[in-house]
Amino acid sequence: MQCHTLLLLFYLKEYQSKMAPGSMPRVGFARLLKDGVRHYRGVEESLFRNIEACLGIAATVRSSFGPKGMNKMVVNHLGKLYVTNDAAVILRELEVEHPAAKLLVMACEMMDFQIGDGTNFVIILSASLLDSAKELIRMGLNVSQIISGYNMALAKALELLPKFVCKSVHSVRDDEAVKAVVRSSIATKVYGQEDMLSDLVVQACTLALGADYSTYHVDNIRICKILGSNVEASTVMNGMAFQDCVSGEIKLIENPKVAVFSCAFAVTKLENPSSIVINTAKELMQFSKHDEEYIENYIKSLHNAGVNVVVSGGKFGDLHLHYLNKYKMMAVKISSKFDLRRLCRCTHSTIIPDMSRVPTPDMIGSCTKVQVREIGSDQLVFFEQNLKGGSLSTIIIRGSSQNTLTEVEKAIDDGVNVFRQLLKDGRLLPGAGAAELAVAREIRQFGLTYPSLERYAIEKFAIALESLPKQIADNIGAKWVEIYPHLMKKHENGENNYGLDIKAPKGGILNAVSAEIFDCFSVKEWAIKLAVNAVNTIINVDQIVLAKPAGGPPIRQPKSQEDDDTNFSQWKRIFLIDVVRGSSRTRSTILADIEAKAAPNKKWRGEYVNLKIPPAQVIKTDWCIFHWKIV
């Protein structure tokens, strides 16, 4: 019997002590954790990594700061398109996952929730403070010294802000004074249309403002977006407006009585299945006639109670709609339960949960007029009031695209929130970056007099405040190095109201008070507080432990060049084994020989190859290559 000898050339890849990018060595503290847990510690791995992530977030929204900031185009996970320069919207739709960057996002969200404006201010100031902290750490300062310096600078800034108050709004019914503040806020979103929109916002807020200021709420100012025309065609109405809600034939009712049902105005289905046996046509007629009589009697009882407008949270049945038209009653369908509650506030009515009873007089609301009007291609139902204050108001905005309507809506929302802040605190600071420059100058002088190492952190705080007007200058295309000396000269002479002039061709300076550019005191105060608190939290972290995400397949790491099996320069030939087919040698004995000859610190893997494989074929695995031929 002829024997065939198989020569196997084993090539073994040397063990690489360096781990693949993104993986963690299973030594030290990492051995105590589960597989898949990532662990970072130290200044380079944890602190600087967090700072770089936050700087990346800030770089995204930095160019959107100021009246002439750039827009960002964001498509979220649902495919919805956003074209906006509002930092809160951008960061919300980006769905940031980095834990340190999330702290900045949460500070931005808190600013939006608490104040409603100044979100970009928080992000840019935080990023400047983090960048300065990175430089201070490289200089040799301890993290605790940096945090202490930032806290002292924060306390000094909050102490200095009242010093630079240039004006106060004593009454929110002073339309001209309020418009100047609202105009400055709206200009950062839709520059060029701030005059017209500020008039609408002040008018709507005044309508929603009752005799008692405590009844004012931002939810009382509603926005109705109608596609078509342009922004200048926007209007304000006293009451509420709803789109495509009319179900009946009646289009106008003066001095209506309104009944609001949260259920569908139709025959409800039985909870338990049932069947009715009808044997003759007469029985069928009697059955349907009974239903008709019941529905007609109920609607007639509503009519006798004075109700002539029925609002339903669900659909209207065909038979119900027929009798509503018969008794000249308007049918309005509003699907949103929140809009139903707002309508009840507007008409002073009570929601009726079902059709089992006729509403009492105290449950029926009223208003001046309910009418249907067509604006553009949409039909709107208007619930109008003639109240001088304390009611709901609606701003009807027009625009050529949905993105335009969304941007105008956000600008109006900022203006409404500024009005709310003026009710709490009417103090105003000079805008155009004047307040930041004035506070930064005082803090820098305070830092020069401080004896310990915290003085460097205090000086960096002043530089971070100056980065805000510098960013405005960069966004308008001006040269900050040319404008800054002129601004400092004015501030050194005690003219602290001077800031940037964005209307100048190449940038310039102006008196913000004379130009009626103001910022709310509470906006600056809260923005500085939130920014410093977020920064102190981030730089106080020296260790990161990331648990393995729950569920789903493991994330595939990118293959590095070190793991490329085609790179033969990283493989070494270590031994040669003769295998005779038909002999008593088995797979286990062959692998035992390989293990005996391989070095202990080498990774290897061997597989048995039979003679059926064609000659001169190369078989690749993760760790070795088999090259063989028949002798």
Does domain 43-167+430-545 fall under CATH 1.10.3720.10? My reply is no
Task: Tell me how many degrees the CA angle 62-108-204 measures, rounded to the nearest 5.
Answer: 100
In sequence order, the β-bridge partners of residue 309 are: 258, 330
CB atoms within 10 A of CB 495: 14
Mean pLDDT of 58-85: 86
pLDDT band at 12, cuts 50/70/90? very low
Structure tokens at 237: 């109405």
Mean pLDDT of 210-220: 74
Instruction: Supply the pLDDT for residue 228.
Output: 84
Mean pLDDT of 70-84: 84
Q: Where in the chain is the domain with CATH 3.50.7.10?
A: 256-269+279-366
Per-residue pLDDT tens over the stretch 286-296: 776 777 888 88
Quick one: which of 432, 446, 535 has its CA closest to 490? Answer: 432
Quick one: what percent of the chain has pLDDT higher than 90? 13
pTM of the model: 0.74
Name residue, tokens 């027929």: 322
Q: What is the DSSP letter of 584?
A: S
* Dihedral sign of CA atoms 221, 226, 228, 233 in order: negative
Instruction: Supply the pLDDT for residue 568.
Output: 35
Q: Which of 266-275, 393-402, 461-470, 532-541 is predicted least confidently?
A: 266-275
Instruction: Supply the pLDDT for residue 465.
Output: 92
Instruction: Supply the pLDDT for residue 551.
Output: 62
Average pLDDT of the chain is: 78
Residue 587 pLDDT greater than 50, yes or no: no
Instruction: Supply the pLDDT for residue 376.
Output: 79
Cα separation, 305 vs 358, in Å, equals: 8
Task: Tell me how many degrees the CA angle 350-352-358 measures, rounded to the nearest 5.
Answer: 105
Q: What is the C-alpha R_g of the chain?
A: 36
Question: Exposure pattern of 347-366 as b/e (b: 16+ CB <10 Å)?
Answer: bebebbeebeebbeeebbbe
Instruction: Supply the pLDDT for residue 542.
Output: 78
Query: Which of the two residues, 555 and 238, has the higher pLDDT score?
Result: 238
Cα separation, 10 vs 593, in Å, equals: 12
Decide: helix, strand or coil at residue 546.
strand
Q: Which residues contact 34 (CB under 8 A, 6 or more apart)?
A: 547, 548
Per DSSP bridges, beta strands 543-546 and 618-620 are unpaired
CA distance readout (Å), 276 to 268, 279, 284, 475, 495: 16, 10, 10, 75, 89
Name the superfamily (CATH) of residues 256-269+279-366. Answer: GroEL (3.50.7.10)
Name residue, tokens 């109608």: 226
Question: Can you list the alpha helix ranges (DSSP code H) found in 352-453?
Answer: 402-424, 434-448
Per the CB < 8 A criterion, the answer to whether 160 and 524 are in contact is no
Cα separation, 245 vs 247, in Å, equals: 6
Name residue, tokens 């808190």: 110
Q: Where in the chain is the domain with CATH 1.10.560.10?
A: 43-167+430-545
Cα separation, 91 vs 57, in Å, equals: 8
Residue 424 pLDDT greater than 70, yes or no: yes
Quick one: which of 288, 287, 317, 324 has its CA closest to 303? Answer: 324
pLDDT band at 156, cuts 50/70/90? very high
Residue 520 pLDDT greater than 50, yes or no: yes
Longest CA–CA separation in the chain, Å: 114
Q: At what angle do helices 318-326 and 281-304 cross, to 10 degrees?
A: 50
In sequence order, the β-bridge partners of residue 626 are: 10, 619
Is residue 222 classed exposed, middle or buried when 0-12, 13-18 and 19+ CB atoms within 10 A define those classes? buried
Residue 213 pLDDT greater than 80, yes or no: no
